[in-house]
Structure 1
Amino acid sequence: MKSIATLACALPLAASAELRSLSLFDGEDLAAWIGDGYVVEDGTLVCTPEGRNLVTRSIFANYAFDFEFKLPPGGNNGIGILYPGEGDAAYTGIEVQILDNGAEQYADLLPAQYHGSLYKLAAAKEAPLKPTGEWNQERIVVNGSQVQVTLNGELINQADLDELNRRFPDHAGARHRAGHLALCGHGDPVAFRNLRIAEMPPAANDAGAAAAGFVRIFDGESLDGWRAAPGDEGHWVPLNGILKYDGRSESKDKDLWSEKEYGDFTLAFDWRWSAPGPVMKRPVIGVDGRETGKQVEVQELDSGIYLRGSSKSQVNLWNWPCGSGEVYGYRTDPDQPAEVVAGVTPRAKADKPVGEWNRMLITMKGDRLSVSLNGLEVIREATLPGVARKGRIALQHHGTPIDFANLWIKEL
């Protein structure tokens, strides 16, 4: 059977123009941001002399970020993209320069230090900046390895992160494919307004998936085919082909259940963590499925997929040391034989870094389960004794903000 995990194609950057965007700054408060040194003045966001990094609470992967900015004479700021949330955003992430190119003190900068450049990585062409004191419009698009910068309607920079990573292997930011956004202040009173982001799902070949016998179970626009309990309203939200959960449902049953029941099937989908989690210690698990007694610190991020209507037959999506794909309900059941416990333990941790999109395939046939994550088979025909013959699928979570996209199923 041909796997839709391989049926990916590039999503045109221009498609971002059609997407619905969300505000990151409402002109009144900084609820979407973390940091100091910026103030709200007359509906705009202004860097103070103490301003350094102001960082989004959320993590973003594929997106178009639109904003307006106004430079004072000699003004210097930047937009951190793919920023992990710590360190210098120009190096642990990538900084897109915001700079008054006409100022005398910048006459001798290197080409990749002028406005619109990916700082010290990729030079922008001469930027059509408006005079200082006037508002400029800018769009930064990040789509997989592709980055574009458009200023006042003119494309001024286009770069491939894979190529930059080859040229600058020591630059951490060029290796990332997701991260926070940041305003990188240098103490100059640069002003911002109308900060909006339009997120995009990871690319997928719909025609190829359909040809392989898969059908969509999420249409990208609505919750048709799913049951959302009272109190879930506004917490499971379709947006631009992404099913976003904010982690704050007030429902007794916070999980999202399919209306249809399934027996034997292959479920394929993309998922990613859309915000960081608290750091906690979690156990190291051996290949036999037993805990070794060692613990390591990880971000506590926890979700999963209920199979055939049962929480016990849950394929975990989490940031534990063993990686996603584990069936916790069976692994921790003391009545299960050793071969069952070992079978439901991932062979390897195949998760991508927090914030990046993962692609997973789950196959249930009889009482046998196989799981592939990012092209690696992590569970191979594990036995789930007593599993129901048929039941609904649920998108489960433990209060963790998570995104799903490209949900397809093939009944076997």
Structure 2
Amino acid sequence: MKNLIVPLAAIYCTANAFAAEAPSARPLFNGKDLAGWSGSGYVVEDGAIVCTPEGKNLVSAETFANYILEFDFKLPPGGNNGLGIHYPGSGDGAYSGMELQILDNSDPKYKDLKDYQFHGSLYTLAPAKKSGLKPVGEWNHQKVTVSGSGLTVELNGEIILRTNLDDLSARNPKHEGVKRRSGHIALLGHGDKVAFKNIQIAETAPAAYVEGVMAAGFTRLANGKNLDGWKHGNSPDWVVTNGIIKHNGNKDAPDLWTEKEYADCSIVFDWRWSGTGPLMQRPILLPDGTAKLDSQGKPETIEVQELDSGIYLRGSTKSQVNLWNWPVGSGEVYGYRTDASVSPEVRAGVTPKVKADRPLGEWNRTMVTIKGDRLTVSLNGRVVIDNAQLPGVPAKGFLGLQHHGGAIDFANLWVKEL
């Protein structure tokens, strides 16, 4: 089974699975109030968000990874603000995340600017082309495209910055924000009356080499446009946008199940947490699947955001490959690990060998292979479950996308029957 994982990891990596159609966008600002944003020092005037003298950070409630963000902005003389991307929600947006400058370069007080301080520049990291701004008081249109490590900024139809975040991270190892690949969007104010309107975002799926996956014998589990082929009870809590199956976090929503049953198969898919969860204590596990005990003989725990989902195999809730934020990492088969009736070898086998999850909000790429009663799981290029036995697993059944109320995205779902 290991041989099925390595070739796929090598080919499933370059082109966007649903790039043929222009991505559809939705408003990130409703033009009426600051619903969906948090912070202080901003008001809504004439359909625009306006920074007041008290304005500092205004932060989106949602987090994003790959997207196209478009907005209009207007600068007063000497106006200074910033667009925070991949912002974790706290700290200085220019360093805990990254800040794209929004600045009136023409004002005399900025005559000694460094290259990376001009409008559109990635502050301290990458200078933008010094052109494209309209005269002070006029509306400008800006488009920011984030795709994995790629970042492009377009101002009034002209590309003023194109850079690679991985390269910038390697050259700036002390900058924590440039290492991040997801987070909130933020307006980073300095008390100047800068205005923003028509804020739209189109989320996009991570890149995938469709031709290579198909050549390896995989077929699509999801068409990227709707939920055809899935049983979903007409739930409004599952939607498809730009190739992404999105669950909004409603705990009462149904799980998704394929209309077709599968026996031996390999499944590949991308997933990310698109929201946050409550803080809860979760156990630290030993390699044999038992809880680590403290000096008093009690299970050791750590506090984590409780985020929980998974992939059901062969119609069985017991044979669920967990996707979660627990200390043990994703890939665990909780239903078998906690079953006292199975052997210690089985419980150890379904315990991840390593935690390979990426930071919350970032996309993870997973491959699950079940053949007979044996399971192998690869997460972000690392084998976390290796030929584990699932005694009594059904021979055939439906595949399911499960949730426990956490907002989660799925994309690039493919299956190969073995």
**TM-score of the aligned structures, taking structure 2 as reference length:** 0.95
- Asked whether 1:79 is paired with 2:83, we answer yes
Counterpart among 223, 226, 229 of residue 230 in structure 2: 226
After superposition, the Cα gap between the structure-2 partners of 1:218 and 1:25, relative to the gap in structure 1 and judged at 3 Å, is same
Residues 312-323 of structure 1 aligned to structure 2 (within 5 Å): 312-323=318-329
Distance 2:389 2:15 in 1: 38
Distance 1:376 1:185 in 2: 41
Counterpart among 111, 121, 128 of residue 124 in structure 1: 128
Q: What are the Cα deviations for residues 24-48 of structure 1, in whole angstroms up to 9, with x where unaligned?
A: 0010122221212111111111111
After superposition, the Cα gap between the structure-2 partners of 1:357 and 1:154, relative to the gap in structure 1 and judged at 3 Å, is same
Distance 2:108 2:273 in 1: 44
Counterpart among 191, 206, 228 of residue 187 in structure 1: 191
Counterpart among 393, 404, 407 of residue 398 in structure 1: 404
Matched residue SS, 1:276: coil
1:95 corresponds to = 99
The amino acid that maps onto 1:331 is R
The answer on whether the counterparts of 1:16 and 1:198 sit within 8 Å (CA) in structure 2 is no
2:242 corresponds to = 240
Residues 14-25 of structure 1 aligned to structure 2 (within 5 Å): 18-25=22-29
Distance 2:15 2:77 in 1: 39
Matched residue SS, 1:18: coil
Unaligned runs of 5+ in 1: none
- Asked whether 1:257 is paired with 2:257, we answer yes
- Asked whether 1:373 is paired with 2:375, we answer no
Deviation at 1:3, TM superposition (A): 3.7
Distance 1:298 1:113 in 2: 37
Deviation at 1:177, TM superposition (A): 1.2
After superposition, the Cα gap between the structure-2 partners of 1:146 and 1:359, relative to the gap in structure 1 and judged at 3 Å, is same
Residues 4-403 of structure 1 aligned to structure 2 (within 5 Å): 4-11=8-15, 18-230=22-234, 232-233=235-236, 235-248=237-250, 250-251=252-253, 254-292=254-292, 293-403=299-409
Deviation at 1:279, TM superposition (A): 2.2
After superposition, the Cα gap between the structure-2 partners of 1:120 and 1:24, relative to the gap in structure 1 and judged at 3 Å, is same
The amino acid that maps onto 1:180 is H
Distance 2:13 2:405 in 1: 32
Distance 2:252 2:166 in 1: 42
The answer on whether the counterparts of 2:288 and 2:348 sit within 8 Å (CA) in structure 1 is yes
Deviation at 1:129, TM superposition (A): 1.0
Distance 1:399 1:16 in 2: 32
Aligned length: 406
Distance 1:47 1:17 in 2: 36
Deviation at 1:62, TM superposition (A): 1.0
Deviation at 1:58, TM superposition (A): 1.3
Moved more, 321-330 or 40-49: 40-49
Matched residue SS, 1:142: strand
The answer on whether the counterparts of 1:69 and 1:193 sit within 8 Å (CA) in structure 2 is yes
Q: What are the Cα deviations for residues 291-319 of structure 1, in whole angstroms up to 9, with x where unaligned?
A: 11111121111100111111111000001
The answer on whether the counterparts of 2:350 and 2:385 sit within 8 Å (CA) in structure 1 is yes
Unaligned runs of 5+ in 2: 293-298
Distance 2:244 2:320 in 1: 22
Deviation at 1:332, TM superposition (A): 1.0
The answer on whether the counterparts of 2:282 and 2:326 sit within 8 Å (CA) in structure 1 is yes
The answer on whether the counterparts of 2:12 and 2:213 sit within 8 Å (CA) in structure 1 is no
After superposition, the Cα gap between the structure-2 partners of 1:11 and 1:60, relative to the gap in structure 1 and judged at 3 Å, is farther
Post-superposition, which runs of at least 4 consecutive aligned residues in structure 1 deviate over 6 A?
Answer: none
Q: What are the Cα deviations for residues 119-162 of structure 1, in whole angstroms up to 9, with x where unaligned?
A: 01101111311111111000111111111111000000111111
Q: What are the Cα deviations for residues 169-203 of structure 1, in whole angstroms up to 9, with x where unaligned?
A: 10011111111111101111111001011111111
Deviation at 1:6, TM superposition (A): 2.3
The answer on whether the counterparts of 1:5 and 1:268 sit within 8 Å (CA) in structure 2 is no
**TM-score of the aligned structures, taking structure 1 as reference length:** 0.96
After superposition, the Cα gap between the structure-2 partners of 1:157 and 1:25, relative to the gap in structure 1 and judged at 3 Å, is same
After superposition, the Cα gap between the structure-2 partners of 1:11 and 1:179, relative to the gap in structure 1 and judged at 3 Å, is farther
Distance 1:45 1:327 in 2: 47
Deviation at 1:224, TM superposition (A): 0.8
Deviation at 1:17, TM superposition (A): 8.6
Distance 1:160 1:185 in 2: 26
After superposition, the Cα gap between the structure-2 partners of 1:226 and 1:3, relative to the gap in structure 1 and judged at 3 Å, is farther
Distance 1:16 1:209 in 2: 17
